[in-house]
């Protein structure tokens, strides 16, 4: 469990660094496009590329955000319950969360496969969609791993009380 | 089961899972998926899951969020809030409750560089609370003032709530930004008035600070120049039509970065921290908007938002009275829910009703931001109060919440003024071309 948690944490951190690089890339692209539009001509496909960078930024940041407890949750009730009850509730919500994000991961892979098969590309820059959808699928898969860690911790709470 | 019953069960399950501490975005995606699957088909629901995540994550119009968040985090880590307070303090500090009044206006000015209430409250809390403490300000007034005024960051553009509202209802983000300016100035003034009245009645709560000579006041104005430059760059670009909102955000972030580098106020660590905060906040916002989109599909197939608008729209009651009830409902919901979650969840449901009642969608965006501001300061889950508690750890939460009431009344008064005079919000958007 310790090894698994360390591995997921390291991978999530690396992905977040990639997301941070995507912020800088997006800023550079959009500002570069403004400047080039003024002095010469705009960068072809800026809107498409900015959207793709956005997909990588968010897809690669969601797991680390979950690890840092960044996703909004209502802390009103459960925090006041005893440890074992918190463990039971955490296990139930963990299974539900894992379930929905496993489906999202699977469906992103299905969508990427479809896009790859039909060769769908963006309107102006003619860039393939599918690699970025695989990227989102990877991010969602990693989020499942983060949720799994919390789920295991909740189950331990249920057993040990 | 009728679609209305299914929608009601879905909403009740949603609230139940919220209370079980399951992340709000996950719950909305989960209930939205199962509801949509029940109403249409499992295959249809599966395909919207993949598509919605791809479409929302890669949406060009949503790339505006990381850009403006980055601008705000750079402003935060480079200490712009401190310099703005320095100016307001020199001009207003000598009045009864002057330091708190200065806090209100400094928060409003910081809102012009930052679009998140938490960052607004944290940045200004760190700067203003030690000063107010030095002059023996009542801790309840001081903390409640900065918690409330910190929320101005989402009313004065740029604002994450305006962006999300704009994306949800497909309204111009530039116009929404413009709509927030005058109500933002009005609300800052109402907050300042609250402080002034409280301190006139009981001067011990907010003793006046030192009076600075005009020479020193004028010299301090350099602290406002950078904020004005950024604001003019972002809003000017939008007003004139040079920039799309994403470009305005990127230009603002680049501008904030250049100012911070020229002033040498942003360390390498500060830069890395601002990047890390940007990815964390952006991921949180995107996933909640995506969850709300999936839930919105479910609501749409049940036709509940449209039936609701038909039913309420058919009542023989003044639209303003209905708006009063909607605001009251938001005030109650904001006590228990995060503002961002509340907005993403309710706007798609209420929007058809708002249009049916004849309200302007830009104007309603401003009302939504006001109720979101109420949500961040009302107990028990007022996030800004917790942020201020983190800054002033020795002040009990109850003390901060006790001081909130007059500021909450100011917010309600601001909403009432906007209902009576919608032009305050609608005047500036007319000049926006994009």
- Cβ-Cβ contacts under 8 Å for B263 (sequence gap 6 or more): B78, B226
Q: Provide φ and ψ at A121, rounded to 5°.
A: -130, 165
Q: Long-range CB contacts (< 8 A, 24+ apart) of B78-81? A: B78/B256, B78/B259, B78/B260, B78/B263, B78/B265, B78/B266, B78/B270, B79/B265, B80/B110, B80/B113, B80/B123, B80/B226, B80/B227, B80/B256, B80/B259, B81/B106, B81/B110, B81/B123, B81/B124, B81/B126, B81/B127
What residues pair up with A121 in beta bridges, in sequence order?
A128
Q: Which residue of B has its CA nearest to A101?
A: B26
What residues pair up with A128 in beta bridges, in sequence order?
A121
Identify the residue with better confidence: A83 or A39. Answer: A39
Min Cα–Cα distance to chain B from A61, Å: 6
Say how many CB pairs under 8 Å bridge A and B. 186
Identify the residue with better confidence: B234 or A54. Answer: A54
Rounded distance between C-alpha atoms, residue B31 and residue B274, angstroms: 34
Note the pLDDT of residue B434. 56
Model-level pTM?
Answer: 0.87
Per the CB < 8 Å rule, is A68 touching B70?
no
DSSP state of B213: P
**Is the pLDDT assigned to residue A85 strictly greater than 70?**
yes
A41 has a chain B CB within 8 A of its CB: no
A79 has a chain B CB within 8 A of its CB: yes
Q: Provide φ and ψ at B30, rounded to 5°.
A: -65, -55
ipTM: 0.94
- pLDDT digits 0-9 by tens, A8-40: 999 999 999 999 999 999 999 999 999 999 898
Chain A residues with beta carbon closer than 8 angstroms to that of B287: 58, 62, 65, 71
**Is the pLDDT assigned to residue A7 strictly greater than 90?**
yes
Q: What is the dihedral angle through the alpha carbons of B143, B149, B151, B152, rounded to the nearest 10 degrees?
A: -170
- pLDDT digits 0-9 by tens, B119-133: 888 888 888 898 888
Closest CA to B396 of B386, B406, B405: B386
Rounded distance between C-alpha atoms, residue B119 and residue B355, angstroms: 33
Identify the residue with better confidence: B40 or A77. Answer: B40
Rounded distance between C-alpha atoms, residue B100 and residue B103, angstroms: 5
**Sign of the dihedral defined by the CA atoms of residues B301, B324, B12, B55, in that order:** positive
Q: Which residue of B has its CA nearest to A54?
A: B58
Interface test with B, best of A52, A107, A124 (most B CBs within 10 A): A107
Nearest by CB to residue A26, choosing from B63, B336, B340, is B63
For the packed helices B361-375 and B173-201, what is the interaxial angle rounded to 10 degrees? 40
Rounded distance between C-alpha atoms, residue B23 and residue A69, angstroms: 9
Q: Which residue of B has its CA nearest to A37?
A: B242
Closest CA to B339 of B175, B157, B182, B160: B160
Question: For residue B367, what are its two tokens?
Answer: 């009302």
Note the pLDDT of residue A103. 97
Q: Is B59 helix (H, G, I), strand (E, B) or coil?
A: coil
- Cβ-Cβ contacts under 8 Å for A28 (sequence gap 6 or more): none
Nearest by CB to residue B58, choosing from A31, A55, A71, is A55
Burial of B417 (0-12, 13-18, 19+ CB in 10 A): middle
Radius of gyration of chain B (CA): 22
Note the pLDDT of residue B1. 82
Q: Provide φ and ψ at A128, rounded to 5°.
A: -65, 140
**Is the pLDDT assigned to residue A76 strictly greater than 80?**
no
Interface test with B, best of A85, A100, A130, A136 (most B CBs within 10 A): A100
Min Cα–Cα distance to chain B from A156, Å: 18
Note the pLDDT of residue B397. 85
Nearest by CB to residue A103, choosing from B49, B57, B272, is B49
Chain A residues with beta carbon closer than 8 angstroms to that of B57: 54-55, 58-59, 136
Q: What angle do CA B210, B213, B218 make, to 5 degrees?
A: 115
Rounded distance between C-alpha atoms, residue B350 and residue A151, angstroms: 35
Closest CA to B88 of B37, B118, B124, B63: B124
Rounded distance between C-alpha atoms, residue B407 and residue B147, angstroms: 10
Spans of chain B, pLDDT less than 50? none
Min Cα–Cα distance to chain A from B380, Å: 8
Per the CB < 8 Å rule, is B243 touching A31?
no
Q: Which residue of A has its CA nearest to B63?
A: A54
Chain B residues with beta carbon closer than 8 angstroms to that of A64: 279-280, 283
Per the CB < 8 Å rule, is A132 touching B58?
yes
Note the pLDDT of residue B433. 66
Q: Which residue of B has its CA nearest to A100?
A: B30
- Helix spans in B202-318 (H): 214-220, 222-231, 237-240, 245-263, 268-302, 304-314
Q: Which whole number is the average pLDDT over A78-100? A: 91
Question: Are the beta carbons of B299 and B7 closer than 8 angstroms?
Answer: yes
- Chain-centroid distance of CA B92 in Å reads 25
DSSP state of B241: T
């Amino acid at each position: 469990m310790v090894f698994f948690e360390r591995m997921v944490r390291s991978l999530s951190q690396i992905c977040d660094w990639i997301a941070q690089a995507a912020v800088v890339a997006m800023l550079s692209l959009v500002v570069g496009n403004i400047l080039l539009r003024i002095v010469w001509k705009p960068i072809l496909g800026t809107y498409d590329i900015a959207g793709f960078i956005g997909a990588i930024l968010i897809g690669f940041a969601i797991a680390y955000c979950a690890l840092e407890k960044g996703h909004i949750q209502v802390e009103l009730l459960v925090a006041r319950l005893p440890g074992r009850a918190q463990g039971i509730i955490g296990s139930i919500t963990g299974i539900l969360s894992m379930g929905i994000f496993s489906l999202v991961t699977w469906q992103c892979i299905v969508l990427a496969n479809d896009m790859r098969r039909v060769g769908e590309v963006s309107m102006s820059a003619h860039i393939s969609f599918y690699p970025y959808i695989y990227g989102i699928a990877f991010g969602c898969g990693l989020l499942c791993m983060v949720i799994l860690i919390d789920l295991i911790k909740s189950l331990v709470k249920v057993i040990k009380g | 089961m009728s679609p209305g019953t299914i929608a009601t069960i879905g909403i009740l399950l949603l609230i139940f899972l919220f209370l079980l501490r399951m992340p709000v975005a996950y719950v909305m995606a989960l209930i939205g998926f199962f509801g949509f699957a029940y109403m249409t088909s499992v295959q249809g629901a599966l395909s919207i899951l993949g598509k919605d995540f791809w479409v929302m994550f890669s949406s060009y119009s949503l790339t505006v969020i990381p850009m403006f968040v980055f601008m705000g985090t750079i402003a935060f880590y480079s200490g712009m809030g401190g310099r703005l307070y320095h100016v307001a303090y020199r001009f207003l500090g000598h009045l009864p409750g002057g330091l708190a009044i200065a806090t209100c206006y400094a928060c409003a000015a910081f809102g012009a560089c930052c679009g998140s209430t938490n960052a607004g409250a944290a940045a200004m809390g760190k700067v203003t609370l030690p000063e107010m403490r030095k002059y023996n300000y009542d801790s309840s007034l001081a903390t409640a003032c900065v918690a409330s005024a910190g929320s101005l960051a989402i009313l004065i553009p740029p604002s994450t709530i305006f962006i999300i509202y704009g994306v949800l209802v497909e309204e111009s983000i530039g116009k929404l930004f413009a709509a927030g300016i005058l109500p933002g100035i009005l609300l800052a003034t109402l907050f300042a008035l609250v402080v002034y009245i409280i301190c006139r009645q009981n001067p011990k709560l907010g003793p006046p600070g030192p009076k600075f000579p005009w020479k020193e006041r004028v010299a301090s104005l350099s602290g406002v120049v950078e904020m004005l430059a950024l604001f003019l760059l972002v809003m000017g670009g939008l007003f004139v039509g040079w920039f799309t909102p994403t470009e305005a955000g990127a230009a603002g972030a680049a501008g904030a970065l250049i100012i911070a580098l020229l002033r040498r106020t942003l360390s390498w660590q500060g830069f890395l921290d601002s990047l890390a905060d940007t990815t964390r906040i952006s991921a949180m916002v995107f996933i909640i908007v995506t969850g709300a989109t999936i839930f919105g599909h479910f609501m749409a197939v049940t036709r509940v938002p449209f039936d609701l608008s038909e039913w309420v729209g058919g009542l023989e009651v003044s639209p303003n009275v209905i708006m009063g009830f909607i605001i009251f409902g938001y005030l109650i919901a904001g006590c228990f829910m995060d503002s961002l979650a509340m907005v993403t969840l309710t706007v798609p449901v209420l929007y058809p009703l708002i249009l049916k009642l004849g309200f302007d969608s830009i104007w309603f965006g401003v009302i939504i931001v006001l109720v979101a501001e109420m949500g961040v300061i009302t107990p028990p889950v007022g996030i800004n109060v917790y942020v201020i508690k983190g800054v002033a750890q020795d002040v009990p939460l109850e003390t901060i919440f006790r001081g909130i009431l007059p500021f909450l009344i100011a917010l309600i008064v601001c909403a009432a003024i906007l209902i009576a005079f919608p032009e305050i919000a609608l005047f500036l958007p007319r000049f926006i071309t994009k």
